[in-house]
Amino acid sequence: LDLAPVTGDLMEFCQMLRGAVRQIAKIPTCVGVGPSKTIAKAANKLAKSRPELNGVCDLRDEATRVALYQDLGIGEVWGIGGKTAERLAASGVRTVADFLRLDPRKVRDMMSVVGARVQAELRGVSCLPLSLMAPQRKGIAVTRSFGIPITDWWTMREAVASYATRAGEKLREHGLLASTMTVLLHTNPHNGDPWYSNQHSARIEATNDTTSLIGDAIRMLEPMWRAGFRYSKAGIMLGELIDAGSQPVSLFPTRDPVRSARAMAALDAVNGRFGRDTLRPLATGISRPWTAKALNLSPRYTTRVGEILVGTAY
């Protein structure tokens, strides 16, 4: 977060932020504040490891940083991995203070421009831009192990159609279209069954229409299917994702784009209101005994009325 616009007591604001996340999401958090991303991440680590800081560490002050850097191990710094930390330790660099005493040219020779950037960041020079928007996804994958081995074509067809349906939901959620698809399946390599693994990739007409994705997935699955095996896993991977709003209009689409958009919007609206899979293509099956087992899921205290914590009065 960019905290520059915050007025008033910044530490009080950070404590309020922690309290709001704890109250709404039930997740304990710590907050690190600094003039650069690397310092803010170091502050966050200190806030987690030192109870006396009460979950918030402020490293905006240079004198405070200098004092803390004496005891902060170089391996604790964001951007310095284990191998790099070992190489620095062999050169006598064990703390952040040691690292900052190195000549920048030596750091660049040892760690390239990445190391020089980390050193500058630790000195309070912001070198990494603040990303306020998440980058566009480059791929979407839906792969699952089956709850029971699949041995017949129609059950495998249902499973792959179900995964294609979920992949389409993800595409529409992010406002994207997929231009390539990969379908994969394999048997269990650990239970002594005969091993078989295969996958097929191909370009598809850019789409996020569930019915189109199901059709493409089944067409790719058919030549890979081999009877006589006990399949344990299958999956769908979508690539070459493009923004749905910037896709040029095709002169000869295989599916009416207006009707497709309306149908998918209606499908998502129903499932958004009444729960996922309330309305789904028949190709995905009805009883679906092959679905993955989920016996150890954490209760959804904040999103499902039936799973709200219940206390016992004494």
Residue 131 confidence (pLDDT): 66
Residue 127 confidence (pLDDT): 86
- C-alpha closest to that of 166 among 241, 258, 269, 237: 237
Q: Confidence class of residue 171 from pLDDT cuts 50, 70 and 90?
A: very high
243 vs 169, residue with greater confidence: 169
Digit-coded pLDDT (tens) for 116-156? 899 999 999 988 777 655 677 889 999 999 999 999 999 99
C-alpha 169/C-alpha 175 separation (Å) is: 10
Residue 26 confidence (pLDDT): 86
| Three-state SS at 147 | strand
Residue 133 confidence (pLDDT): 58
Helices (H), 70-103: 82-90, 96-101
Q: How is residue 106 written in tokens?
A: 């030596």
The strand pairing partners of 243, in sequence order, are 176
Q: How is residue 72 written in tokens?
A: 């902060």
Asked if residue 253 has pLDDT above 90, the reply is no
DSSP 8-state code for residue 9: -
- 171 touches 177 (CB < 8 A): yes
Q: Confidence class of residue 227 from pLDDT cuts 50, 70 and 90?
A: very high
Element spanning 180, H or E: strand 176-187
Structural domains of the chain, with CATH: 10-122 (1.10.150.20), 139-284 (3.30.1490.100)
Q: Confidence class of residue 82 from pLDDT cuts 50, 70 and 90?
A: confident
C-alpha 246/C-alpha 55 separation (Å) is: 44
